[in-house]
Copies of this chain bind each other. A is one copy, B any other.
Amino acid sequence: MAIKIGILGAASYVAGELIKILLLHPQTEITYLESETFAGQNITLAHSFLRGLCNLSCEKYNKDAVLSRCELLFICKSHGESMGYVVDLQDSNLRIVDLSADFRLKDAQIYQKWYGKNHLLPQALAHAVYGLAEINSGQIKQTSLIANPGCYPTSVILACAPLIQAGVVNSQAIAVNAFSGLSGAGKTPKAGFNLFIDAFANIKPYRAGAHAHQPEIEQELQNFSQQKVQVSFIPHIVPIERGIISNIVLNANRTLSNEQIAEIYQEFYAGQPFIQIYHPPQMPQISDVAGTNFCALGWYYDQRTNLLTVISMLDNVLKGAAGQAVQCMNIMYDFPQTLGLPWGKLL
């Protein structure tokens, strides 16, 4: 009865989280774990915290095995690599949630520009659904290919979409300074970047204006709002394991009040289980979203300057990756969105 789940790239950081969630999810059974590096070995060698909890072995990739043993496949491969598997599996009725960036950008040329690779399946870009549950749940229900959103874009889009739709901010000059914990950098060493001695007690901006999440943010906000959106985007590394804070500076189009802003968010997110709205002077903090599937939104509006600064926080591994992927799965199968994600910060 349980949904049979396969995971490609099972040794990756995000796959570890996905496995933990799926093991406790009442409607799923993990039937296939693929890892090139750990093929033939127990998954606990890749994720020692699964010791005593999961006894599955990893396998090499095998198309037949995937198709015969899985209903739903989560792909946790890196950008550029993921699409190859989708190509290989395209003539099947397998459902796929791709956690890479390969099917997020709708324009193969933009993909090529930002990721430096030719897209292998441009014809799929149009019908792949951007899996941001709070915005696209209708389409998520219908599709068999989900492009799971990026971590930074999730935090920024959820903060901006209601305001742009309400027409109260200038969508063409949005300044985002976003700060991510190191789990966002995955398990691959990058010189001077994600070693403990590089990141500890440090904060470091990187790839200002050159991070591929920028066109993703702009595309989705534009598609949603039908307005031109331009974002100046600077990501930073902060010395925590999990969590993103996006500080988003917007120019209000007219004088606002905190009550008006609160109303815009409350209406937009009415009934959404994973959005938490903080009213000034209350503000979220990372420790309350880390380990959860929440996105928490707070803001400060300065009446003198008409500057509205929205502060958006989430756990990059959960709401920004594995949690959101399960949320999408829940929607695809008509489960409650919170199934298996009771709230997050369980223990």
Contacts and interface: CB of A to CB of B under 8 A. Distances in A.
B347 A205 contact: no
A65 interface: no
Given A201-B287, A205-B283, A283-B208, A232 B53 contact: no
Interface stretch (A93-101, A115-123, A290-298): A290-298
A213 to B, nearest CB: 15
Contacts of A343: 52-53
A195 interface: yes
A304 B318 CA distance: 33
A49 interface: yes
Contacts of A51: 276, 288
A177 interface: yes
Interface residues of A, number: 85
B347 A302 contact: no
A345 interface: yes
B345 A345 contact: no
A18 to B, nearest CB: 11
Given A230-B304, A347-B345, A197 B173 contact: no
A154 interface: no
Contacts of A179: 179, 203
Given A195-B196, A205-B311, A241-B197, A287 B172 contact: no
Contacts of A280: 208
Interface stretch (A160-168, A242-250, A263-271): A242-250
A336 interface: no
A304 B300 CA distance: 25
A195 B187 contact: yes
A197 B232 contact: no
B204 A285 contact: yes
Contacts of A306: 173
A60 B62 CA distance: 48
Contacts of A243: 201, 203
Interface string A167-195: 00000111101010011010101000011
A295 to B, nearest CB: 12
B240 A21 contact: no
Interface string A295-313: 0001010101111010101
Contact of A173 (B231, B245, B251): B251
Contact of A347 (B52, B174, B197, B346): B346
A238 to B, nearest CB: 6
Given A24-B346, A49-B287, A208-B283, 18 more contacts: A49-B292, A173-B307, A177-B249, A187-B195, A195-B195, A196-B198, A198-B287, A201-B243, A202-B240, A204-B283, A205-B298, A230-B305, A232-B305, A234-B309, A236-B245, A239-B239, A344-B347, A345-B347
The 10 closest A-B pairs by CB, nearest first: A189-B189, A208-B300, A232-B302, A204-B285, A182-B196, A173-B305, A202-B287, A346-B346, A175-B249, A196-B199
